[in-house]
Structure 1
Amino acid sequence: MSNYGPPNPYQQPYAPQGGRPGQQPYQGQQPYRQPPQGYGQTAPGQPYGQQGQWTPQPPLARKPALVQHALPVVTLDQLVGHEITEVLGDVVGVVVRTRELRPDLRQGNPMDGYVTMLTESRQDAVTRLVEMAVAAGAHAVVGLRYDCSEITQSLSEVAAYGTAVKLAGAGEPSNPSA
């Protein structure tokens, strides 16, 4: 028998428990491809068809919610129903976060945890942008955009930027028909 090339299944002894030919399972372990003892049996008090032991699902990561800001922030270049009287300049909000999930977001589906973390990072960046706009005396921020980048292998940056503007009537809608 040669040690080279694929083994010939007709020359190998049959592996009775699903293991490799000529090997037996380790002592104390279940044979390969066989379920553990008691698996698949209906537990007392369980309805027919539910097998194994019931374990509760871990709680899901909380979902992000809408954040209200001190002034309107829009992705549009104009604020509908308002007239821009002065452009104050660009405003920026930057947040740096670790790329690892926080412990409170590690429960449930990890993808949901990452979605929550990324959404909260963007919301925090907008909150910092609004703080800068309020300090500049703005009534609104138009042209909101996001940018994300990797700083190191473990840190990411989320930036929100836009244009701080003053509105006619200090934030009250203008009347185009007058």
Structure 2
Amino acid sequence: MSNPYGQQPPYGQPGRQPNPYGQPQQPYGQPQPQGYGQQGYGQAPQQGYGQYGQQQWSPPPPARPSLRRFGMPVVTMDVVPGRETADVLGPVVSVVARTRELRPDLRNAGVVEGYTAMLTDSRQDAIAKVVDMAREAGADAIVGLRFDCSEITQSLSEVVAYGTAVTLAPVADAGAEQAAPTSSF
């Protein structure tokens, strides 16, 4: 069998034709070799080691959520432990609307970790706004903090934080009571 380029199939491999441009063809079902750092269109990047034996860089996971301090007691209970409520100022509410799409800094961390970090941030931001509203009203604390979440549109969701703004009774000075002299008569 002859071909127009004058090359013959390799010995022992009938029907396998060499590439007329000098590069050997791979049998069907085996990956085609790629050039320097190239990958096929629409294929996932190769994992493992990159060029020159260096491991490919992967972004660090998002920071783990940590406790935020808000400058006033914010509790899910109906009272602040160890304090008496002097006055109820009223309900405080905040709404945080966020896109349901992962932020760029969270996309490479994995879907579950990325959404967990984003939802935690949304709730903490909603608490911060409730605290600002309560502070403006003259509150000392927020009791009965609750959350509500819902979908606004296919691409937007909301996190609502709400509670009751209260003022607290002054703490009785326990040291002054003990320092008062008692009569022994």
Q: Same fold (TM over 0.5)?
A: yes
In the TM superposition, what are the counterparts of 1:1-178 in structure 2 within 5 Å? 31-32=28-29, 53=49, 54-169=55-170, 172=171
The alpha-carbon distance between structure 1 residues 86 and 101, as it changes in their structure 2 partners (threshold 3 A), is: same
Deviation at 1:93, TM superposition (A): 1.3
Please say if residues 140 and 167 of structure 1, whose CA atoms lie closer than 8 Å, have aligned partners that are also in contact. yes
Aligned residue for 2:82, secondary structure, equals: coil
Which consecutive residues of structure 2, in runs of 5 or more, have no partner in the other structure?
1-23, 34-47, 50-54, 178-185
CA distance in 1, matches of 2:101, 2:172: 44
The TM-score with structure 1 as length reference comes to 0.67
Aligned residue for 1:124, secondary structure, equals: helix
How many residues align structurally? 135
The alpha-carbon distance between structure 1 residues 153 and 124, as it changes in their structure 2 partners (threshold 3 A), is: same
Q: Name the aligned partner's letter for residue 73 of structure 2.
A: P
Please say if residues 143 and 162 of structure 1, whose CA atoms lie closer than 8 Å, have aligned partners that are also in contact. yes
Bigger Rg, structure 1 or 2: 2
Q: Name the aligned partner's letter for residue 135 of structure 1.
A: E
Please say if residues 143 and 165 of structure 2, whose CA atoms lie closer than 8 Å, have aligned partners that are also in contact. yes
Which consecutive residues of structure 1, in runs of 5 or more, have no partner in the other structure?
1-26, 38-51
The TM-score with structure 2 as length reference comes to 0.65
Give the share of equivalent positions with the same residue, in percent: 55
CA distance in 1, matches of 2:167, 2:102: 39
Q: CA RMSD of the aligned region, Å?
A: 2.7
CA distance in 2, matches of 1:83, 1:174: 14
Q: Name the aligned partner's letter for residue 169 of structure 2.
A: A
Structure 1's consecutive aligned runs of 4 or more residues displaced over 2 angstroms after TM superposition are 27-32, 34-37, 52-58, 172-175
CA distance in 2, matches of 1:67, 1:104: 21
Aligned residue for 1:138, secondary structure, equals: coil
